[in-house]
Amino acid sequence: MKTKVVIIGAGPSGLLLGQLLHKQGIDNIILERVSADYVLGRIRAGVLEEGFASLLREAGAGERMDIDGEVHDGVEIAVDGKRVRIDLASLTGGKKVIVYGQTELTRDLMDARTLSNQITSYEAVNVEPHDIAGDLPFVSYEKDGQKFKIQCDYIAGCDGFHGVSRKSIPSDHIKEYERVYPGGWLGVLSATPPVNPELVYAHHERGFALCSLRSQSLSRYYIQVGPKEKVEDWSDDRFWQELKRRLPDELADKLITGPSIEKSIAPMRSYVVEPMQYGRLFLLGDAAHIVPPTGAKGLNTAAGDVHTLYSILTKVYAEGRSELTEKYSQTCLRRVWDGERFSWWMSNLLHKFEGKSAFEEKMHKSELDYYLRTETGQKIIADQYVGLPYDEIK
């Protein structure tokens, strides 16, 4: 088989890139390790920046988001029961965010992919990039006991943190940066009306909590848990009681609880690999970087990578500008580090991490108070939360 771009991974990064390239007449094949149902079964992000929403529309997969997604022009931060609303729209000249689950946008991209008749091979195992440092790379894989080889011009590693792409780059060509936080987020999805029309990020002595949503009848809640916690030790009732203890009284009193549809613990990690490319292999999304979900930047930073590679490859094939491929990593990394810093900063301010000294706790409380009580501070939070603009490739 032969194609222009092989995309490894059918998560949001791979599917969005595949659709955008297809719209530009750049044929591509996506290889995914698990089934489509398994991909859809992972409950993850919920907040989209406007840039991501625009890319989804450009990819021909934004229709349901524009109908079912909720446009939010504000977000709340509660500190030990005191609520402050960050008016995103007024502080950023009208920018907002869209609340629409990653599961749904992944489904929309899968549907668009099916209509595009591009090849997507699910349950493709032993996927392996070859000759990535040369001019004739190829990817091998197996499916239903048969071995396959795809000759291509470029390989897009969209296979997440545990994928094969990053591991295919010689270790002496990369530098890794990492912070693993002592704890994670225990998340619950429930078919209950959300406790608040906008998201509420809550700092509390007992630990962080987040009230989010997917629709007016589907809510998503999180509480920070310690590094040794196991999801099986958290009954629904125990979860709801702990969440109520961390929320401002007026929210705790009106919280509507119900059985969990999904319950899982997501680890908290900051990670970046530099550079995000090697030869004809490019790393996108979680294959190249991970953030703690506190700033809602995981999915949105991945979209920035997709925008950059899509813009570059469009010029490569339409204008013969193959030298632009050398700019991919440096173009992505400025926005990646912005997202890393904001997620790290919000996580440190809002979480009670073991090992934080009393003095550090005071510093974080004072910093949080400064940012929340001043318009300058709120503008800095709002500017980063709605997302920084994508870089234009010239």
Q: Which residues bind ligand FAS (CB under 6 A)?
A: 8-14, 31-34, 39, 44-45, 102, 127, 158-160, 163-164, 266, 285-286, 293, 296, 298-299, 302
Asked if residue 75 binds ligand PHB (CB under 6 A), the reply is: no
72 is catalytic: yes
Asked if residue 223 binds ligand PHB (CB under 6 A), the reply is: no
297 is catalytic: yes
Strand partners, 140: 128, 149
Q: Which does 163 bind (CB under 5 to 8 A by kind): ligand FAS, ligand PHB, none?
A: ligand FAS
- Which of 289, 297, 307, 364 is the catalytic position? 297
Asked if residue 293 binds ligand PHB (CB under 6 A), the reply is: yes
Asked if residue 381 binds ligand PHB (CB under 6 A), the reply is: no
Asked if residue 45 binds ligand PHB (CB under 6 A), the reply is: yes
Q: Quick one: 218 or 363, whose CB is closer to ligand FAS?
A: 218
Tokens matching residue 280:
């004809």
201 is catalytic: yes
130 is catalytic: no
Q: Which does 33 bind (CB under 5 to 8 A by kind): ligand FAS, ligand PHB, none?
A: ligand FAS
Tell me how far apart the 2 most distant CA atoms of the chain are, in Å: 63
Q: How far apart are CA 285 and CA 276, in angstroms?
A: 10
Asked if residue 263 binds ligand PHB (CB under 6 A), the reply is: no
Asked if residue 296 binds ligand PHB (CB under 6 A), the reply is: yes
Least Å from the CB of residue 203 to ligand FAS:
18
293 is catalytic: yes
Residue nearest to ligand PHB (CB): 46
Strand partners, 200: 76, 211
User: Which window, 41-49, 166-174, 242-250, 282-290, contacts ligand PHB (CB under 6 A)?
Assistant: 41-49
Least Å from the CB of residue 126 to ligand FAS:
8
- Which of 201, 221, 222, 278 is the catalytic position? 201
Asked if residue 311 binds ligand PHB (CB under 6 A), the reply is: no
- Which of 263, 278, 293, 390 is the catalytic position? 293
Amino acid at position 156, single letter: A
Residue positions annotated with a catalytic role = 72, 201, 293, 297, 385
